[in-house]
Amino acid sequence: MSNIVDPLVGRIAARIRTERERRRWTLAQLADASGVSQAMISRIERGESSPTAVVLGKLSAAFRLSIASLLALAEGAQDEGAQDNSEEAAGVRRRDDATEWQDPGTGYRRRQISGPRFPAEIAEIRLPAGARVPYPAAAFAFVRQVVWVLDGRLTFHDGDAVHELAAGDSIELGEPTERVFANTTDAECRYAVILTRGTQP
């Protein structure tokens, strides 16, 4: 695993533990709510295992957060603890300073574009050739979300509907349903996710 990912694994672990404890849930209760084994959750919270995108989707659904929100909260933990300099105060975020998370299961990479104080969450996703990432419906609760394909092609399963999206295409997501982000081509797909929160759970 690259050194750019390692610090984020620890922050994800702390965020999952914080969200669980905030709800006063035991590991067993989170396991029941998410469908992720208690042993796996324990390893993730201790920073011993890097969760896959699918596992993060299940955990975020149990918390009634989007996976983007869960990762943004983890990424924001570092931003909030950092001392502001003139560029940060002006809202400038350099590419080399951005935190990148990589799914150990598929190689999916996610880079947060917006900062923790911005009212919308914007992320850049790089989905490798042949990768397929499914999320449960609950991972999309309480959010409004747009997916905008920047490069390549994305096969997007929105419940029973399947949309083939090319560079420049976008889709505004409606009511929560099971969704799959798939790259059936032999080239990487790059897309942006723009998300705003609706009713607070």
> In this predicted model, what pLDDT tens digit does every residue of 34-62 receive, in sequence order?
999 999 999 999 988 888 888 988 998 89
Residue 154 CA to its chain's centroid (Å): 17
Smallest Cα–Cα separation from 106: which of 74, 86, 133? 133
153-158 vs 161-166, strand pairing mode:
antiparallel
> In this predicted model, what pLDDT tens digit does every residue of 154-189 receive, in sequence order?
999 999 999 999 999 999 999 999 999 999 999 999
Residue 140 CA to its chain's centroid (Å): 11
Phi, then psi, of 48 in degrees rounded to 5: -90, -15
Q: Is residue 1 part of a domain?
A: no
What residues have CB less than 8 Å from 125, skipping those under 6 apart? 108, 109, 110, 111, 181, 190, 191, 192, 193
Q: Is residue 173 part of a domain?
A: yes
Q: Is residue 183 part of a domain?
A: yes
Q: Is residue 105 part of a domain?
A: yes
Q: Is residue 113 part of a domain?
A: yes
Into how many domains does the chain fold? 1
Q: Is residue 33 part of a domain?
A: yes
Provide the residue range defining the domain that includes 139.
Answer: 6-197
Report the pLDDT value the prediction gives residue 32, as an integer from 0 to 100.
95
Pair 118, 175: CB distance under 8 Å? no
- What's this model's pTM, rounded to 2 decimal places? 0.78
What residues have CB less than 8 Å from 150, skipping those under 6 apart? 124, 167, 190, 191, 192
Q: Is residue 154 part of a domain?
A: yes
Q: Is residue 168 part of a domain?
A: yes
> In this predicted model, what pLDDT tens digit does every residue of 60-104 receive, in sequence order?
889 988 777 777 677 665 444 444 455 555 677 777 766 788 898
The average confidence (pLDDT) of the chain is 84
Task: Establish how many alpha carbons lie within 13 A of residue 178's alpha carbon, considering only the half-sphere containing its beta carbon.
Answer: 7
141: domain CATH number is 2.60.120.10
pLDDT reading at 111 higher than 60: yes
